[in-house]
Amino acid sequence: MDAALGPPEKMAENADELTPMMSQYFELCERYDDSLVLFQVGDFYEAFEAAAEKVARLCEITLTKREDSTGQYAMAGIPIDNAESYVETLLDAGYRVAVADQVEDPDEVSGVVERAVTRIITPGTLTEDALLRSPDNNYVAALTTDSRRFGLALLDVSTGDFYATSANDVDAIADEVGRFAPAEAIVGPNVAGATDADDVFGPACMVTPYDEHVFERDVAGERVGSYFGDPDSLLADDVEVRACGALLEYAEYTRGGQSGTADEIAETATGHGRLDYLNHLTRYDPREYMLLDAVALDSLELFERRSVRGHEGRTLVDTLDETACALGRRQLNDWIRRPLLDEERIEGRHAAVEELVGDVQTRERLRDLLTDVYDLERLISRVSRGRANARDLRSLAATLGVVPEVKAAIADAESDLLADLHETLDPLTAVREEIEHAIREDPPQEVTEGNVVKPGYDETLDDLRETERSGKQWIADLQADERERTGIESLKVDHHAVHGYYIEVTDANADLVPEDYQRRQTLKNAERYVTPELKDREDEIFRAEQRADDREYELFRQVRDDVAAESERVQALADRLATLDVLVAFGEVAANHDYCRPSVGGEAIDVEGGRHPVVERAEDSFVPNDARFTPDQRFAVITGPNMSGKSTYMRQVALTCVLAQAGSFVPARSAALPVVDRVFTRVGASDDIAGGRSTFMIEMTELADILSGATEDSLILLDEVGRGTSTADGLAIARAVTEHVHDEIGAYTLFATHHHELTAAADDLTGVFTLHFETRQVDGEVVFEHRVAPGAAAASYGVEVAKMAGIPDAVVDRSRTLLDDERAADSVSDAATVGGDPATNGHGVTSDQESADYGAKDEPDDQSPAAPTDDARLSKELRDLDVATMTPLEAMNALAELKERVDD
């Protein structure tokens, strides 16, 4: 990013001589040197010099020039009316945009109009609806550290969601970052020495080192205190206070507040930029939630879809998203991102979902009502920032109007959670009534031009409007009155934007014009006049209109302030409606897709007829599978050909746990599950070319994280560990990992592998068992049954899959020949080694596919200790020749080949 533009050099050279306007621009560029300043000049936002060139190039607009006594400056302007799309382009290109608006009415000042930066638009602090691309949260983060701990704060400025946490280990922080996926981060002074912030936040996040001062304990503490009271009672560690304080300062700064020196804090604490709607700071310990790090979120496709074959387009959240409003959608994301560990809370959600599953009518009623719920969090944040218009207030009132009906719909609820929601849903009746009494039903976008406040709400306003109305009526009647008085039938009364009201008389009737008419304008065939009374009336109308508009704006602001004062209650209501919406969505999905209520808290995984929630929607006939892990047998080695369903099965077990702990029902006939503290995944990786790490390196790094972080309550998915290195090394690592997880950790583990040797671990390690996926051969073609069964698979069918994928016949045939040859040769040598320690077996297996044929438990010769001699090899090959089906030529060739080998 080359965001720091600073003031243009050319202006710096003659800074003292700049025109007043350019001097303003120059100073703003100096002050906001980390941003691209867009400077209002009338209906445009202008940029000059280097910034202008950037804007012109990125936004594809013309680069022009501005010339004054001090020189010529490159200039590019974007129209204010649709500035958003241009700003979006600049954000995408990595800029912060400082919007410098005219803060005085140009008509009312002589000389240069004052301009001030009213907001700094950055990727993580967006509040503009047009720039927020989805209802999902958009977070900005702050990270800091002392030498001991790391503190992380996360804030969604558009909704007021604010979180803080801390950890000793930067990896734990990276995991939390992964959950929230902030769009932007500021980092404190010591972070650079302790870790690589770009690594922690990832490439999609704009990371900037920020003013050290605001991270100081006292400065930060004071700021946190000004919002939420004593920081020490709220937060667990100084690093959390530092991160939260700095983040608040940054958020204020982007809302046009001052960047904080100690003195300025007191000023901003009450002034411009303050985020009054921030009422809650949620301090949490990552250990309170099932941990899903970035790798797991990604590989389980909870939010983002990886580019893999099949099940197009859908993520877990999409699949579950039957929410009716934006509040619910965000809450759903949060529940999936942070599944619970507390059994009681999990059960609480399940009980509520169960009740809703069983009551279609209530569910439908609630869905209907919740569809009418606006995004209260963003509305109240706009209200508190003074950016809400009258329509926003009406939307808020409309939402409040739905609350009593929502309450009524769950009045008889029996589950604790629904009953509690019924009890605590707060209709804020007074707020709704105030808005409904004061604000018109269909107000305009603008709040300063009248038509906002209802007649009858305010006497002063009504009087002014009456004066305006009667004045206009008098003028409306004037044409008829004057025609009668003067006898001029063609006399016209009309209004002109510049000259105001006039009476028009054609030249033919000039002699009938009365004395009191004063000439104003001469046209080709007519004259326009005013009378003193018309002038007086006009002034009266104008004054009344002006004062009425002002009065309306004042009344509107009063109502808006009154609503803002209740922002905490509105936020609490938003949270409850969101909860209800997610519960209803869970109920809907469960009812429509045949999910069951899981029991949680035992020590076994016992899923009957489980399905993958996403894949089952894309497959016409999804095959349900059981999953059974007992307290004593927690490690499954899964074999089966490519495409047989191993990955799908493993993910479905993990997703079932995630869903259950998020509070949802699960796609299965029945399910008993433990409370899983963390899901680890090590499933296929793409090369991190930019990061300079090979597939194997990534694989090993992820594996290292798993081995150091997993507990006996964790769920581990391992897919093809050791694929990126030689088969012997890979197998050795796979076996050693199996032993370690089995002996030392005891986590629930699903390990899919093509190393059939690994299935032997089931014989040696009591907690390990084998599963495999079955396939059938029908007319020479492989049919995948997608059915899991105990034991190990017999063959890999890699070549058949290659054929299905469209590899040319010649290559497929050649592969078969090679494979047959190798099988013949290796089955002999294999007999000597399978079942021993793979790390020391030293035999030359050359690919995963081949290794898949090793160690199938039910092959009797697997365990035989025979040594591979040439004779044994030859005899086997001879035995395997199927003379009955060979052509004479093939028989001749085979014989010649064998003879040749004996001769050697």
Q: Which residues are registered as beta bridge partners of 680?
A: 716
Q: Which stretch binds ligand ATP (CB under 6 A): 227-235, 368-376, 538-546, 639-647?
A: 639-647
Q: Cα separations (Å) of 523 from 489, 498, 499, 519, 527? A: 19, 15, 13, 11, 6
Our CB check for ligand ATP shows the closer of 663 and 798 to be: 798
Residues flagged as binding site for ATP: 640-647
Region for 550 from its dihedrals, namely left if φ exceeds 0, alpha if ψ lies in -120 to 50, beta otherwise: alpha
Footprint of ligand ATP on 783-802 (CB under 6 A): 786
In three-state secondary structure terms, 623 is coil
Residue 767 C-beta: closest distance to ligand ATP, Å: 23
Asked if 682 touches ligand ATP (CB under 6 A), the answer is no
Using the contact rule CB under 6 A, the part of the chain among 340-348, 533-541, 586-594, 635-643 near ligand ATP is 635-643
Based on its alpha-carbon atoms, the radius of gyration of the chain, rounded to whole angstroms, reads 37
**Binding-site size, ligand ATP (CB under 6 A):** 16
Nearer to ligand ATP, 268 or 644 (CB): 644
The stretch near ligand ATP (CB under 6 A) out of 525-533, 554-562, 646-654, 743-751 is 646-654
- From 159, 166, 647, 849, residue interacting with ligand ATP (rule: CB under 6 A): 647
- In the complex, the smallest distance separating the C-beta of residue 292 from ligand ATP, rounded to whole angstroms, is 20
Closer CB to ligand ATP, 421 or 771, in the complex: 771
Question: Which residue type does 504 have?
Answer: E
Please classify residue 858 by burial: count the beta carbons closer than 10 Å to its beta carbon, then call 0-12 exposed, 13-18 middle and 19+ buried: exposed
Instruction: Identify residues 307-346 at the interface with ligand ATP (CB under 6 A).
Output: 309-310
443 makes contact with ligand ATP (CB under 6 A): no
Stretch that binds ligand ATP, among 155-163, 196-204, 320-328, 645-653 (CB under 6 A): 645-653
615 part of the interface to ligand ATP, by CB under 6 A: yes
Q: How many helices (H) and strands (E) does the chain have?
A: 33, 27
Q: Is residue 223 close enough to count as binding ligand ATP by CB under 6 A?
A: no
Cβ proximity to ligand ATP, 128 vs 619, nearer residue: 619
Does the protein bind ligand ATP through residue 640 (CB under 6 A)? yes
Q: In what order do the strands lie in the sheet with 714-719?
A: 291-292, 678-683, 714-719, 748-752, 635-639, 768-778, 781-790
Q: In angstroms, what is the minimal distance from the CB of 640 to ligand ATP? A: 6
Residue with smaller CB distance to ligand ATP, 132 or 812: 812
Residue 169 Cα to chain centre, angstroms: 25
- The helix/strand/coil state of 166 is strand
Measured from the CB atom, is 440 or 617 closer to ligand ATP? 617
Write the DSSP assignment of 557-594 as a string of letters: HHHHHHHHTTHHHHHHHHHHHHHHHHHHHHHHHHHHHT
CB of 649 vs ligand ATP, minimal distance in Å: 6
* SS3 track for 854-878: CCCCCCHHHHCCCCCCHHHHHHHHH
Cα separation, 635 vs 769, in Å, equals 6
User: To the nearest whole angstrom, how small is the minimum distance from the Cβ of residue 622 to ligand ATP?
Assistant: 4
348 belongs to the binding site for ligand ATP (CB under 6 A): no
Q: How far is the CB of 627 from ligand ATP (least distance, A)?
A: 12
The residue assigned the tokens 């190393």 is 755
Contact region for ligand ATP (CB under 6 A) — 230-238, 330-338, 622-630, 844-852? 622-630
Residues 485, 488, 490, 494: is their CA dihedral positive or negative?
negative
Q: Is 613 in the site for ligand ATP (CB under 6 A)?
A: no
- Give the shortest CB-814-to-ligand ATP separation in angstroms: 21
- 733 contacts ligand ATP (rule: CB under 6 A): no
Closer Cβ to ligand ATP, 647 or 727, answer by number: 647
Distance CA 586, CA 350 (A): 9
Q: Strand order of the sheet with strand 670-673?
A: 599-600, 670-673, 605-610, 625-629
Stretch that binds ligand ATP, among 518-526, 619-627, 730-738, 844-852 (CB under 6 A): 619-627
- Under the binding rule (CB under 6 A), the answer on residue 268 touching ligand ATP is no
Q: Give 425's strand partners.
A: none
Phi, psi torsion values for 669, nearest 5 degrees:
-75, -40
Taking the least distance from each CB to ligand ATP, the nearer of 245 and 640 is 640
DSSP 3-state of 849: helix
Tell the smallest beta-carbon distance from residue 669 to ligand ATP (Å).
14
Binding to ligand ATP (CB under 6 A): which residues in 378-417?
none
Kindly tell me which of 319 and 395 has the beta carbon lying closer to ligand ATP.
319
Please tell me the distance from the alpha carbon of residue 351 to that of residue 417, in angstroms, as a whole number: 8
Q: By CB under 6 A, is residue 645 in contact with ligand ATP?
A: yes
Burial of 488 (0-12, 13-18, 19+ CB in 10 A): buried
Q: How far is the CB of 638 from ligand ATP (least distance, A)?
A: 9
Selected range binding ligand ATP among 316-324, 456-464, 620-628, 878-886, rule: CB under 6 A: 620-628
Closest CA to 332 of 643, 577, 532, 501: 577
Nearest 5 degrees, angle CA 687-CA 797-CA 773? 90
Tell me the C-alpha distance between 877 and 872, whole Å: 9
Q: Is 125 in the site for ligand ATP (CB under 6 A)?
A: no
Contact with ligand ATP (CB under 6 A): which of 646, 723, 756, 857?
Answer: 646
- Based on the shown chain and the rule CB under 6 A, indicate whether residue 84 belongs to the binding site for ligand ATP: no
Q: Which of 34, 264, 619, 822 binds ligand ATP (CB under 6 A)?
A: 619
The reply on whether position 648 binds ligand ATP by CB under 6 A is yes
Half-sphere exposure of 181 (CA within 13 A, CB side): 16
| Closer residue to ligand ATP, CB minimum distance, 255 or 612 | 612
CB of 429 to ligand ATP, least distance (A): 52
- CA 587/CA 320 separation, integer angstroms: 10
Q: Determine phi and psi for 301, rounding to 5 degrees.
A: 55, 50
Indicate the residue among 311 and 363 with the shorter CB distance to ligand ATP.
311
Q: Which is nearer to ligand ATP, 77 or 613 (CB)?
A: 613
Pick from 143, 185, 366, 643 the residue near ligand ATP by CB under 6 A.
643
Terminal-residue alpha carbon distance, the chain: 67
Cβ closer to ligand ATP: 15 or 623? 623
**DSSP notation for 327-339:** HHHHHHHHHHHS-
Q: How far is the CB of 852 from ligand ATP (least distance, A)?
A: 10
Query: At its nearest, how many Å lie between ligand ATP and the CB of residue 102?
Result: 58
Q: Does 782 bind ligand ATP (CB under 6 A)?
A: no
Nearer to ligand ATP, 44 or 622 (CB): 622
Cβ 848 to ligand ATP, closest distance in Å? 9
User: Two tokens at 324?
Assistant: 């009716």
The angle subtended at Cα 523 by Cα 519 and Cα 526, nearest 5°, is: 75
Name the residue nearer to ligand ATP (CB basis): 544 or 615: 615
> Which residues, in sequence order, are CB contacts of 400 under 8 Å at separation 6+?
427, 428, 429, 431, 432, 435, 573
Rounded to whole angstroms, what are the CA distances from 872 to 500, 832, 884?
113, 12, 22
Residue 642 binds ligand ATP (CB under 6 A): yes
Shortest Cβ 834–ligand ATP spacing (Å): 21
Distance of closest approach, residue 771 Cβ to ligand ATP, in angstroms: 12
* Cα 48 from Cα 22, distance rounded (Å): 9
Binding site for ligand ATP (CB under 6 A): 309-310, 615, 619, 622-623, 625, 640, 642-648, 786
